């Protein structure tokens, strides 16, 4: 199996670049050749995932499958998807894939469990909340999860789409306020369950950042772990 990691991105473009940066920043490397080999498919024209789930708009599955096949045909040995909502279609993609696909919620849950966290809040798109994969993966590790109420969720969505539109500062301020409100509910951590959220909070230097569980960063770490195990298997 190839050690090349395929990134099924473009959802959105900033989030994809942020994900690649997090892989690079977490990789123990002293020279170019020590970094992970990546093949990035960043095609933003994939139909909106949340619009599909909430408003019965066009499904992104055909575009996701096309991107998946492009990466596999390009030699990818595993796939990472730096978009939380797209994981609603994880099972269909996994069934169609000849290589493993890492799961962002699984990576997040494993990281939280390692830190002995037992209660979390979740900031994510309406589509991710409806998809319901975070509670399932967290429950497997005994982690309790709280979701925003309807009023707070509307603010979360507004912040996310501000970031997607390029208003990163404005969106980041709003999302930081949402995170503060979530923390007031007594959770130990808040999962930043949309790839735009950690990017925006980093951009504004959020004082709450240390209490956020960056799902993007967790997926990046899972890529590094997969590559390390693959290299060990080849050496053996």
Query: How far is 185 from 88, CA to CA, in rounded Å?
Result: 27
Query: How far is 197 from 59, CA to CA, in rounded Å?
Result: 23
- Could you tell me if 96 and 188 lie in one domain? no
- Could you tell me if 119 and 210 lie in one domain? yes
According to the model, what pLDDT value does residue 74 have? 98
Start-to-end CA distance of the chain, whole Å, equals 14
- Could you tell me if 92 and 117 lie in one domain? no
**Active-site annotation holds for 223:** no
- Could you tell me if 112 and 92 lie in one domain? no
According to the model, what pLDDT value does residue 236 have? 62
148: left (phi over 0), alpha (psi -120 to 50) or beta: beta
- Could you tell me if 63 and 118 lie in one domain? no
According to the model, what pLDDT value does residue 231 have? 79
According to the model, what pLDDT value does residue 131 have? 95
- Could you tell me if 129 and 166 lie in one domain? yes
The whole domain housing 155 covers 105-216
- Could you tell me if 188 and 199 lie in one domain? yes
CATH of the domain at 132: 3.40.50.1860
- Could you tell me if 90 and 113 lie in one domain? no
- For the chain (236 residues), the mean pLDDT of every run of 10, in chain order, is 93 94 96 96 97 96 98 98 97 98 98 97 96 97 97 98 96 98 96 95 94 97 94 70
How many domains does the structure of the chain reveal? 2
Query: How far is 151 from 134, CA to CA, in rounded Å?
Result: 21
- Could you tell me if 207 and 231 lie in one domain? no
Residue in 52, 78, 83, 223 annotated catalytic: 83
Q: Which two tokens stand for residue 24?
A: 């690079």
According to the model, what pLDDT value does residue 232 have? 75
**Active-site annotation holds for 194:** yes
- Could you tell me if 109 and 209 lie in one domain? yes
Give pTM, 2 decimals. Answer: 0.94
Bridge pairing between strands 212-214 and 38-42: unpaired
- Could you tell me if 79 and 136 lie in one domain? no
- Could you tell me if 99 and 109 lie in one domain? no
3-state SS of the chain: helix, strand, coil percent to 5?
Answer: 60, 10, 30
């Amino acid at each position: 199996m190839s050690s090349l990691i395929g990134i099924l991105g473009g959802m959105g473009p900033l989030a994809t670049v942020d994900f690649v940066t997090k892989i690079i920043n977490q990789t123990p490397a002293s020279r170019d050749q020590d970094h992970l080999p990546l093949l990035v498919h960043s095609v933003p024209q994939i139909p909106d995932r949340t619009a599909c789930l909430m408003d019965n708009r066009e499904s992104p599955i055909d575009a996701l499958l096309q991107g998946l096949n492009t990466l596999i045909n390009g030699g990818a040995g595993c796939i990472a998807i730096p978009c939380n909502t797209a994981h609603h279609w994880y099972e269909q993609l996994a069934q169609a894939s000849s290589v493993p696909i890492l799961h962002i919620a699984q990576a997040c849950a494993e990281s939280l469990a390692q830190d002995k966290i037992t209660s979390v809040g979740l900031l994510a798109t309406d589509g991710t909340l409806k998809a319901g994969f975070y509670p399932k993966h967290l429950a497997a590790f005994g982690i309790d999860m709280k979701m925003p109420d309807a009023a707070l969720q509307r603010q979360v969505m507004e912040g996310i789409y501000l970031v997607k539109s390029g208003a990163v500062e404005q969106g980041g301020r709003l999302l930081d306020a949402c995170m503060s409100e979530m923390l007031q509910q007594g959770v130990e951590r808040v999962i930043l369950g949309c790839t735009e959220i950690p990017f925006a909070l980093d951009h504004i230097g959020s004082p709450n950042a240390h209490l956020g569980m960056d799902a993007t960063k967790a997926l990046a770490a899972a890529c590094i772990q997969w590559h390390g195990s693959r290299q060990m298997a080849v050496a053996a």
